[in-house]
Structure 1
Amino acid sequence: MQRAEILKRVIGILTEAQEIRRAVEAGEEDERAELEPSVVTQMLNEMLPDISVPADATPQEVARSVAGALGPVLQTMISGFTLAFTSLAMTHDGGQDDVSSAEVLRTLALQVEAGMFDEGA
């Protein structure tokens, strides 16, 4: 999965979590829905690569294979959450009371779509 797609998925998770939280606060959802792992589980299932190791691999070889396969994806996911948090924090700290967090996430998603956060950019 490409970096931009992972970043968009992260933004989608944050957006959905925000919608669930609003629904819970409005009494429209049971509080258990807030903890529903299906979105995160689905994202992980789609983004994490399949890892194959030979049956006779040593523990060190298994560790290297797993780290090599998961490292880039996990780094991109963490970067996505960090990017979203930083964008939201900068808007908040800048005193922009007229901009909702949903608008910040929407703008961020459009920037990702436009290639502003492509590797090497």
Structure 2
Amino acid sequence: METLRHIVLFVHLIGFAVLFGAWAVQAFGGKRQFATIMEYGLLIAGIAGLALAAPWGLPEGAEPNYIKIGTKLVVLVVIGALVGSGLARQKRGEKITPAVFWLVGILTALNAGIAVIWR
């Protein structure tokens, strides 16, 4: 069961890597717009994160940190809202404000940092 949990964790990290990687390509490529693949990375990270929130495969006596899980979920929802609204604006031909674009990258890095640093 622990091996399956590690596989789900790996998939979760791949989701964030896809999201952050697509953001970084846009940020340092000069376009500074959202790509559809960001939504896929967000979806992968979200579904795998919810699977990790379930109390299966934990060592004996360990309990999930529900405050950490809730914090990561709130950050993920905010990222989703920003990316979704940004993509909608792009479809209408409008530009994304730089603050929203950079906030997505910062929040994505923050979410990964919460996962690694917060015990």
Q: Into which bin does the TM-score normalised by the smaller protein fall?
A: 0.3 to 0.5
**Which structure has greater helix proportion?**
2
Given the two structures, how large is their TM-score scaled by the length of structure 1? Answer: 0.32
Q: Which has the higher contact order (CA 8 A, sep 6+)?
A: 1
Higher Cα Rg: structure 1 or 2?
1
